[in-house]
């Protein structure tokens, strides 16, 4: 891959000279990934650059673009080029593109497909959204158990070019039932060539169900080190395959969605810069309103302790310190557990082990802040005498409150994702702002409860 700056400098020079023939040659010599970068860098010239590409390279480049860039390019291309491009796209890539369009647009685009590709596309679009069926491609190599290795290799030479991948060859019977999958290397190294396919079968294969959620594919691929997996129906009929490149896209989308939800917003349907302002507003405003209502509870909590605050105004000084410490530790715990659940490091049955670990962590973290608060209040007292003769009592209020809210924050932050998962919701919905708001309210109750306990009969 060439340095992008070098490529841009070269294209800038050729554009100034209007040397389109040289631009054509230069772009066709670049790697696919470099061409994608060029199209993104020069949106005003993307149509002309794209049309300079050899057709097979153009199809590969189009497939490497994200959905929004594909849509923009389709709007710029002439109708005949759009038809050629859509018919040449791999079925899974074409389905992913059409799935993001409005119904009228899908109808118009399907019209340009030839009968065979239209049938395949409608079949894939017929599966539920976010199902494995939407990810799969019907372009694969399948053979029968009574074939010889020589027959298989001949078949691959004749038809392998149209397959999504030839790394794995699938064995099916006359009804299309999947019997096994065999890696291509096993056919290449076997001797003699008259060996039957059934002699290579071990029947240890892994499948994906066509109606399963796409999220399940990530875990299956990670655990089994596969570049492709077969997709079957409930009767084990082979319908297609899912390749690792499609799974990586799903993983990226899931990661983006979780990060947005952890930040306190619903997941955006488009990349940030491509998302309309109204969509960004809609995705954020609901969560913000929920958090706003949650923070109102903080006001109600403070009203219940209004008399205590009036008697010892100094207590209000430490409120931000107390509630932020609890919110921060709760957010830390929530983030760790959400990540662990996403990576399948923990599951619902581990809740008690998680609880015990977080209690220990919360106590240790709380004691650390407890000690820090005592030291700081002692230094403050020695330098200004602001706390008077009751500075040890006030230090105890702050210290024990910090211990309490930190412990409570770790418990809430770790258990809330698990509770949401148990209820069938996305654990990422227990976003850090939500955890922080919940701990803020309870933190105030803990703080003023300790204030009453230690200061009653003296300052209160």
- 24 has a pLDDT exceeding 80: yes
- 221 has a pLDDT exceeding 90: no
Neighbours of 451 (CB within 10 A): 26
Provide long-range contacts, Cβ within 8 A and 24+ apart, for 61-69: 61/32, 61/35, 61/36, 62/89, 63/89, 63/90, 63/93, 64/32, 64/33, 64/36, 65/36, 65/39, 66/271, 67/96, 67/97, 67/100, 68/270, 68/271, 68/274, 69/39, 69/40
Host H or E run for residue 321: helix 319-342
131 forms bridges with which residues in the sheet?
A: 213
Nearest to 261 by CA among 59, 423, 425, 16: 425
Interior/surface letters 309-322, b for 16+ CB within 10 angstroms, e for the rest: beebeebeebbebb
According to the model, what pLDDT value does residue 293 have? 73
According to the model, what pLDDT value does residue 173 have? 92
Confidence at 209, pLDDT banded by 50, 70, 90: very high
What CA–CA distance (Å, rounded) separates 112 from 125?
16
What CA–CA distance (Å, rounded) separates 33 from 68?
17
208 forms bridges with which residues in the sheet?
A: 231
**18-22, 137-141, 144-148, 314-318, range with the lowest pLDDT:** 314-318
Q: pLDDT digit string (tens) for 84-136?
A: 999 999 888 898 888 888 888 888 889 889 998 999 888 898 888 889 998 89
The phi, psi pair for 239, rounded to 5°, reads -110, -25
Q: List, in order of start, the domains of the chain with CATH numbers.
A: 4-131 (1.25.60.10), 142-250 (3.10.580.10), 272-455 (1.10.357.20)
What CA–CA distance (Å, rounded) separates 242 from 227?
9
Residue 192: C-alpha distances to residues 158, 166, 173 (Å):
21, 21, 23
Mapping DSSP to helix (H, G, I), strand (E, B) and coil, where does residue 228 land? strand
Nearest to 412 by CA among 273, 294, 236, 248: 294
Taken as a whole, the chain contains a residue count of 460
Q: pLDDT digit string (tens) for 403-432?
A: 999 999 999 988 988 888 888 777 776 567
Using a pLDDT cut of 70, give the percent of the chain over it. Answer: 88
Cβ distance 377 to 345 under 8 Å? no
| 66-74 average pLDDT score | 87
Nearest to 403 by CA among 327, 325, 338, 346: 325
What CA–CA distance (Å, rounded) separates 48 from 93?
23
- 1 has a pLDDT exceeding 60: no
Cβ distance 362 to 407 under 8 Å? yes
| 305-325 average pLDDT score | 77
Confidence at 245, pLDDT banded by 50, 70, 90: confident
According to the model, what pLDDT value does residue 328 have? 85
What CA–CA distance (Å, rounded) separates 414 from 216?
23
- 54 has a pLDDT exceeding 70: yes
Nearest to 413 by CA among 340, 334, 306: 334
| 327-347 average pLDDT score | 82
Give Rg (Cα) of the chain.
31
- 272 has a pLDDT exceeding 80: no
According to the model, what pLDDT value does residue 310 have? 67
Tokens at 125, concatenated = 């679009």
- 311 has a pLDDT exceeding 70: no
Report the C-alpha dihedral over residues 421, 427, 429, 432, rounded to 10 degrees.
130
């Amino acid at each position: 891959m060439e340095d992008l700056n070098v490529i841009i400098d070269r294209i800038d020079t050729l554009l100034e000279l209007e040397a389109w023939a040289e631009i054509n040659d230069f772009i066709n010599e670049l790697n696919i990934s470099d061409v994608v970068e060029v199209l993104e860098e020069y949106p005003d010239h993307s149509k002309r650059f794209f049309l300079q590409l050899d057709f097979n390279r153009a199809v590969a480049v189009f497939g490497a673009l994200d959905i929004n860039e594909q849509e923009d390019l389709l709007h710029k291309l002439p109708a005949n080029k759009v038809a050629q491009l859509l018919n040449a796209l791999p079925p899974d890539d074409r389905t992913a593109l059409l799935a993001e369009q409005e119904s009228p647009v899908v109808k118009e685009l399907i019209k340009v497909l030839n009968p065979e590709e239209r049938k395949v596309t409608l079949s894939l679009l017929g599966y539920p959204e976010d199902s494995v069926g939407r990810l799969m491609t019907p372009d694969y190599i399948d053979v029968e158990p009574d074939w010889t290795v020589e027959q298989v290799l001949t078949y691959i030479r004749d038809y392998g070019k149209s397959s999504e991948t030839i790394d794995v060859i699938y064995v099916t019977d006359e009804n299309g039932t999947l019997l096994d999958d065999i890696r291509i290397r096993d056919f290449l190294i076997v001797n003699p060539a008259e060996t039957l396919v059934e002699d290579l079968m071990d029947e240890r294969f892994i499948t994906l169900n066509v109606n399963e959620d796409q999220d399940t594919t990530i875990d299956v691929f990670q655990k089994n080190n596969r570049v492709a997996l077969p997709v079957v129906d409930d009767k084990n009929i082979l319908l297609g395959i899912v390749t690792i490149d499609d799974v990586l896209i799903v993983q990226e989308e899931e990661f983006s969605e979780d990060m947005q939800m952890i930040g306190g917003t619903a997941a955006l349907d488009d990349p940030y810069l491509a998302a309309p302002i109204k969509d960004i507003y809609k995705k954020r405003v609901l969560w913000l309103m929920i958090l706003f209502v949650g923070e109102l509870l903080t006001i109600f909590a403070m009203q219940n302790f209004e008399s205590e605050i009036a008697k010892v105004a100094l207590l209000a000084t430490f409120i931000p310190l107390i509630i932020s410490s609890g919110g921060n530790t709760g957010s830390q715990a929530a983030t760790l557990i959400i990540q662990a659940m996403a990576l399948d490091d923990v599951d619902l049955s581990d809740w008690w082990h998680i609880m015990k670990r977080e209690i220990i962590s919360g106590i240790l973290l709380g004691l650390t802040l407890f000690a820090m608060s005592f030291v700081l209040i002692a230094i403050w007292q020695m330098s200004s005498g602001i706390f008077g003769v009751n500075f040890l009592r006030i230090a105890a209020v702050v210290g024990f409150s910090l211990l309490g809210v930190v412990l409570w924050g770790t418990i809430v932050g770790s258990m809330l994702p698990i509770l949401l998962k148990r209820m069938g919701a996305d654990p990422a919905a227990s976003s850090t702002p939500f955890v922080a708001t919940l701990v803020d309210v309870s933190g105030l109750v803990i703080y003023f409860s300790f204030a009453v306990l230690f200061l009653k009969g003296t300052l209160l």
